[in-house]
Every structure is written in C-alpha cells, then in structure tokens.
Amino acid sequence: MGGAEGDPTPAQVARAVRERLEVCRLFGWQVPLDRGRIAPRPPAAPPAGRALSSATTPRVAAPPPAGPASSKDRPAREAALEPIRLEVAACTRCGLCRTRTQTVFGVGDPAARLMFVGEAPGYDEDRQGEPFVGKAGQLLNDIIRAMGLRRDEVYIANVVKCHPPQNRAPDAAEAGACLEYLERQIEVVAPELIVVLGAVAAKALLGTAEGIQRLRGKFHAWRGIPVMPTFHPAYLLRKPEEKRKAWEDVQLVMARLGLQRPERRRA
C-alpha cells in the first residue's frame, strides 16, 4: 500500500536508508542525513546524452548537454593520448626523471565525462605505473563507487607524472614543467567536469594560491570546464573527520552531472 501521492513508499524509504548507511560506511559517520522528503526514483529511461562510458548501464538521470568532445569517439581519443603518453615516458624536463621507476600517465575512459586530477604518483604508483593504486587510491575508488561509478568509467591523472622521492610534494618548478602534459590530456578527454584532489593539484590547474579549504565546495573553471576542488584522499585518510565535507563536494559534482547513487545490489 502506498501513502498519499508524493509520499515515499516503504520500499523507497528502505532503499534510502540503505543508501545512507552505505554512504556513511564509505565516508564516515559524520555525513549529514537528509531529513527532507525522499526524492522519487528517476525515470528508468536511458539518457539521450553521452553516457559515462560506452560500457555504462544507464545511471545518468538528466541527459548532459552535448559537449564539444561528444563528437569524438573513444578510439580516436585513445589514439590522441598515445603520443602524449610516449612523450611523457621519455620526459627529462625536471630532475624527477632521474629517480622515477617509470612515468605514470593516466588511466580510465578516454571519453569519460568526469576526470580526477591528483598531485603526483606515490611509491606504489611509481612501481605499478598507474595513478592512485595505493591506500589513497583505494579511498578514491570508494568515492568513485559512492558516486555510482566504476573506476574504468572515469579518467584519472596527476599534475606531475613522476614520483617525487620520499613521497614529498612536487615543487612549483616540477609541477610547472609537467602541467602542459595534463592540459593536453584534458583537451583530449574533454571531460564535462574535473575534480581536483588537494591543494597542489588545485594550485597547479587553477593557478591560485588559495588553500583547499577555501577552494572546495564551489565550482571553478579551467578553460570553460567546471572544476570542483576537494580534499586529497591521502588527507582524508589522516583526517577522517573531513570526509563529510568531501562528501558534500562529491554530491555537488553528482548533481551537476545528473548522477544518481546506485541501489545497493543484493548478494
């Protein structure tokens, strides 16, 4: 039996509670609960716009506006990234080339609607040649999953492509030398939205000296693409009490992309 028209059904309430618990499990118990009316389920019809990936099942509530990139196909973008990747692999623009095991270019869907930009590869990334594969990467995966996405549906890259020794932050000269590679990656992927992770990435991409606490929570822009700065996952591992703010940022991103949290699947 349903309630008055517009009221959530018991199944909708149960699903909303399950979703809240899942978000709290991922982001910590400080996540604010939405005590308002539970939004009705979005229509099940597939979106007309570009999906997050060709492999994506329909999860986008509102069709996104066709961006300039939507006419380019995935293999073309893959092919366009390849010469940049090769250039990066041979790069000697800064001293990090002497200590790296390998360069760490980027990973994910070259036609992704959403791109994450981190700071620089850590120890694990230097060994494996892929961004965000260590502990911070696991939390980033959790964040991506909490958005209802898979890691292979987004594109992930760093400002700096080589691991700075002793896990130090890259300096301004290193970030400056490498930034052009990231800019070219962004131009090829042409995401609808970029999430920059942490102050170093935000500073490099947005050219601002503002701290992440002031930058986060609002959209900025890079060459017309909306950019949401938020905390770096490594920072969230050290300061779990900040996860609530990160979740707020993620929700703004989801709303902008028309993403819905997925239903938790039964085993």
Binding site for ligand URA (CB under 6 A): 118-122, 125, 131-132, 134, 136-137, 158, 234
Identify which of residues 146 and 162 has a Cβ nearer to ligand URA in the complex. 162
Identify which of residues 50 and 163 has a Cβ nearer to ligand URA in the complex. 163
Three-state secondary structure of the chain: CCCCCCCCCHHHHHHHHHHHHHHHHHHCCCCCCCCCCCCCCCCCCCCCCCCCCCCCCCCECCCCCCCHHHHCCHHHHHHHHHHHHHHHHCCCCCHHHHCCCCCCCEEECCCCCEEEEECCCCHHHHHHCCCCCCHHHHHHHHHHHHCCCCHHHCEEEECCCCCCHHHCCCCHHHHHHHHHHHHHHHHHHCCCEEEEECHHHHHHHHCCCCCHHHHCCCCEEECCEEEEEECCHHHHHHCHHHHHHHHHHHHHHHHHHCECCCCCCCC
Closest approach, Cβ 132 to ligand URA, in A, equals 4
Identify which of residues 64 and 191 has a Cβ nearer to ligand URA in the complex. 191
How many angstroms separate the CA atoms of 236 and 232, rounded? Answer: 6
Closest approach, Cβ 178 to ligand URA, in A, equals 12
Closest approach, Cβ 152 to ligand URA, in A, equals 16
- From the list 137, 90, 85, the residue with the least C-alpha distance to 106 is 85
Identify which of residues 69 and 212 has a Cβ nearer to ligand URA in the complex. 212
Identify which of residues 201 and 250 has a Cβ nearer to ligand URA in the complex. 201
Closest approach, Cβ 182 to ligand URA, in A, equals 12
Identify which of residues 26 and 169 has a Cβ nearer to ligand URA in the complex. 169
Closest approach, Cβ 107 to ligand URA, in A, equals 9
Closest approach, Cβ 177 to ligand URA, in A, equals 17
Long-range contacts of 67-76 (CB under 8 A, 24+ apart): 67/190, 67/192, 68/190, 69/111, 69/189, 69/190, 69/191, 72/111, 72/190, 73/111, 74/109, 74/110, 74/111
Nearest residue to ligand URA on Cβ basis: 118
Identify which of residues 191 and 233 has a Cβ nearer to ligand URA in the complex. 233
Closest approach, Cβ 167 to ligand URA, in A, equals 9
Identify which of residues 136 and 257 has a Cβ nearer to ligand URA in the complex. 136
Closest approach, Cβ 27 to ligand URA, in A, equals 19
